[in-house]
Amino acid sequence: MTSTTPSVSRPAAAAAGTRRWGLLTVLAGNMLIDALEVSVLVVAAPAIGADLHLAPAGTQWTMSGFALGFAGLLLLGPQLAARWGRRRLYLTALAVFAVASLVAGLATDPVLLVATRFVKGGCAALTAPMGLAIIMSTFPDGPARRRAISVYTLFGASGFATGLLLSGLLTGWDWRFTLAFPAPVVAVLFVAGLRLIPAQEPGAARQPLPLVRVLLLTAGTAALVGGIALVPTDGWTGPRTAGLLLTAAVLYVLLVVRERRAAAPLLPASVRTSAALRRSALGAACLNGSYLGMLFIATLQLQDELGRSPLQTALAFLPASLPLALTALHSGAMVARFGARPLIALGSLAAFAGYLLLLRESTSYVTGLLPSLLLVGAGFVLAFTALNTQAVSEAADSDKAVAGAAYQTAVQAGAALMPALAAALLTAGTGTPDHRAAHLLVAAVGLLGVVTALAGLAAPTPVRHSPKESG
């Protein structure tokens, strides 16, 4: 009987391995979809605005709406997974994402379109970090898990470039395809996930969900973006603008008050007091937000003023997004060799230099936009993984997931605010787009990222104690 055991165990092990890599295909495929949703409407924005008769301040909501949904549910995701189980929550988010994609492709009302973008952002907030958690619990520690994480990371890093290309191709036919195409893809992933995503029993803890605080955070940010979006028509002191900005301030104050009184705060004290997390969150919000602001300005300029096609616009933007995808698998080794702080400083300086070049207002792609895109791309290669690493570097193992969620919330908040600010400055005051004012804003945010990074270089390295020493 013992001689037959290997022949039985080998097929079983092979089947288990095949099942795990099938699971990785589902998780990585969905990660690609989540990542490309960030960029897929960058190129389509002018076509959406023209078809739905939206000014840039209205069109930017298609980008900001997704980021708002993403930021709003990130901190709630781990608690929902603990309560309902990862498998149930992941599959539910996939199903809702597919339906929202289909509705978005058919929407003729701008409000409904933005609402679907918000819903898709919320679904992405649940699935993107949860996919990594499923990998960590499914793949055995060692080479198999490292390969799985590398594949997952590569698909995520490739998503932005993929979204640009797909947007360029699909917008040439109809911009609605850019919104609807994920529906059948995600439906296939859902069917495969039913078989492959492992079941997980919900946690025993039944603490009340912090729905009010999450709602305050999301509504406050939405009010802030909405107030900024009204600047071109109402000005900064108009009643609607001032009312929304005041509402945002009140909601944020209420959030802080409730968070301080909460028995289980969204951010534990060990996370709130992390200087590394604060610097990383601000630096990444500046880097991501300024980049999206730059692309929003450039896509309107290239298509509306210079007559470039959506595909030409997408190809023009690739020099900024491809380098990160091509170097994703080596970024961890780069951080390990050179350290996070120097890489963040160099990356923020490179991006800032790119934004300064745009102030020249050159109409030549080769001497104008291209050098800026290359510098910003280099900034992401240097700083992106380093910022992620630094964000959780001071958190205890039990708090790393919460620290990572807080960091990503800040990143998405930057993505929601910057297109709105860029659109407000682009069209404020006169009917002629003011590119210089918008680019000055982008450069100023990039400079804030540089100052934050340099402050990190000057900050003392925290002293770490081993468990024996602390005991």
DSSP string spanning 344-380? HHHHHHHHHHHHHHHTT----IIIIIHHHHHHHHHHH
Average pLDDT over residues 22-38: 91
| Tens-digit pLDDT profile for residues 259-299 | 988 888 888 888 888 899 999 999 999 999 999 999 999 99
User: What is the pLDDT at residue 433?
Assistant: 67
Share of the chain above pLDDT 90, in %: 47
Q: How many CB atoms lie within 10 A of CB 183?
A: 17
Lowest mean pLDDT among 63-67, 176-180, 232-236, 284-288: 232-236
* Model confidence band, residue 11 (pLDDT cutoffs 50, 70, 90): low
- Residue 368 exposed, middle or buried by CB count within 10 Å (0-12, 13-18, 19+): middle
- In the numeric block, the tokens 């036919």 are attached to 173
User: What is the pLDDT at residue 15?
Assistant: 63
Lowest mean pLDDT among 140-149, 341-350, 439-448: 140-149
User: What does the block give as tokens for 227?
Assistant: 């107030």
Share of the chain above pLDDT 70, in %: 91
Tell me the CA end-to-end span of the chain in Å, nearest whole number: 51
User: What does the block give as tokens for 206?
Assistant: 């039944």
Q: For the whole model, what pTM was predicted?
A: 0.86
Nearest residue to 210 (alpha-carbon basis) of 365, 92, 75, 114: 75
* Model confidence band, residue 4 (pLDDT cutoffs 50, 70, 90): very low
* Model confidence band, residue 113 (pLDDT cutoffs 50, 70, 90): very high
Mean pLDDT of the chain: 86
Average pLDDT over residues 417-431: 80
Q: Which residues contact 298 (CB under 8 A, 6 or more apart)?
A: 313, 316, 317, 369
Helices and strands of the chain, counted as H and E runs: 22, 0
Lowest mean pLDDT among 135-149, 277-291, 377-391: 135-149
Q: Of 81-95, 196-210, 242-256, 382-396, where does the model show the most confidence? A: 242-256
Q: Is 404 a residue whose pLDDT tops 50?
A: yes
Average pLDDT over residues 129-134: 84
User: What is the pLDDT at residue 86?
Assistant: 86
Q: Of 114-123, 199-208, 209-218, 380-389, where does the model show the most confidence? A: 114-123
Q: Is 7 a residue whose pLDDT tops 50?
A: no
Q: Is 13 a residue whose pLDDT tops 80?
A: no
User: What is the pLDDT at residue 434?
Assistant: 72
Nearest residue to 211 (alpha-carbon basis) of 300, 88, 83, 366: 83
More confident residue, 428 or 73: 73
User: What does the block give as tokens for 194?
Assistant: 């039913």
